A = this chain, B = another copy of it.
Amino acid sequence: MADAEKPQCKVILANNIAKTLLEEVHTGLQKISHKPKLVGFLSSTDPAARVYAEWTRKTCTENGFDFELREIDREALEDAILDANVSPDVDGILVYYPIFGSGQDQYLQQLVSIDKDVEGLSHQYISNMYHNIRFLDEHQTKKSILPCTPLAVLKILEYLRIYNMILPYGNRLHGRTITVINRSEVVGRPLAALLANDGASVYSVDISDVQLFTRGGGLRKRRHDVHEKPGWTLKDCLPISDVVISGVPGDKYKVPIELLKEGAVCINFSSEKNFAPEVKEKASIYVPSIGKVTIVVLLRNLLVSGVIHGVEVGD
One digit per residue, 1 when the CB lies within 8 angstroms of any chain B CB and 0 when it does not, for chain A 197-224 equals 0000000001000000000000001000
The answer to whether B226 touches A75 (Cβ under 8 A) is: yes
Partner-contacting stretch, out of A25-33, A106-114, A276-284: A106-114
Inter-chain CA distance A186–B103, complex, in Å, is 9
The list of the 9 closest CB pairs from A to B, nearest first, reads A103-B185, A110-B123, A75-B226, A106-B106, A107-B185, A104-B185, A103-B184, A111-B127, A104-B189
The bracket for how many chain A residues form the interface is 20 to 34
Q: Which residues of B contact A253 (CB under 8 A)?
A: none
Chain A residues with a Cβ under 8 A of chain B: 75, 78-79, 102-104, 106-107, 110-111, 123, 126-127, 130, 183-186, 189, 206, 221, 225-228
Q: Judge whether A221 and B104 touch: CB under 8 Å.
A: no
Q: Given the complex of chains A and B, what is the CA–CA distance between A127 and B79 in angstroms?
A: 11
- Residues of B within 8 Å of A206, CB to CB, are 102
A90–B199 CA distance with the chains assembled, in angstroms: 36
Given A75-B226, A75-B228, A79-B221; A123-B103 close (CB under 8 Å): no
- The reply to whether A183 and B102 contact each other, CB–CB distance below 8 Å, is yes
- Looking at A103, A104, A186, A206, the one whose CB has the most chain B CB atoms below 10 A away is A103
Given contacts A78-B130, A79-B221, A107-B127, 20 further A-B contacts (CB under 8 A): A75-B225, A75-B226, A75-B227, A102-B183, A102-B185, A102-B206, A103-B184, A103-B185, A103-B186, A103-B189, A104-B189, A106-B106, A106-B185, A107-B123, A107-B126, A107-B185, A110-B110, A110-B123, A110-B127, A123-B123
